[in-house]
Amino acid sequence: MITPLSCALPNRREGGPKGSGDDAIKVNSGTLLYKICGSEDHSEQYFCNYGVNPEFEAQFVAAGMKISARGGQGEIRAAELPDHPFFLATLFQPQLSSRPEAPHAIMLAFLRAALRFRKDRAGKKRRK
């Protein structure tokens, strides 16, 4: 399912892996990622040598995964499980552009989901 990348991303750091640098992604509307990012066009940072093998996309979708973002050549950049409270897999790394004074939107969304889960679980324990 995972395969080595065959081409470098634009803005690659000199001497860095093929998948390092900044790249634009197209976020699909109706996804958790779209709700988090608030727009279709987005730029993210990468540092990897691997990506999703496109031959397995049909199996991902058949298993319930929803493709939430694609790169410039149509490659998968993010996927999610729609019926899960927060299952979001990305090939970009939000932590690279996250700062204490300006956390990445995905980091904040994950923390909010974790707090909701904790509150829901605590409420269920009290009801028993």
CA distances from 10 to 20, 26, 46, 53 (A): 8, 15, 10, 20
CB 28 within 8 A of CB 67: yes
CATH of domain 2-94: 3.40.50.880
What is the pLDDT at residue 125?
76
The contacts of residue 95 (CB under 8 Å, 6+ apart) are: 104, 107
Q: Quick check: helix, strand or coil at residue 35?
A: helix
What is the pLDDT at residue 64?
94
3-state SS record for 47-66: EECEEECHHHHHHHHHCCCE
pLDDT over threshold 90, residue 3 = no
CB 78 within 8 A of CB 25: yes
What is the pLDDT at residue 99?
87
Structure confidence by residue, pLDDT tens digits, 24-44: 789 999 999 999 998 888 777
pLDDT over threshold 60, residue 18 = no
Query: Any idea where the domains of the chain sit in the sequence?
Result: 2-94
Nearest-CA neighbor of 46 among 7, 6, 90, 100? 90
Structure confidence by residue, pLDDT tens digits, 94-120: 877 788 899 999 999 999 999 999 998
Structure confidence by residue, pLDDT tens digits, 82-94: 989 899 999 888 8
pLDDT over threshold 90, residue 74 = no
What is the pLDDT at residue 10?
52
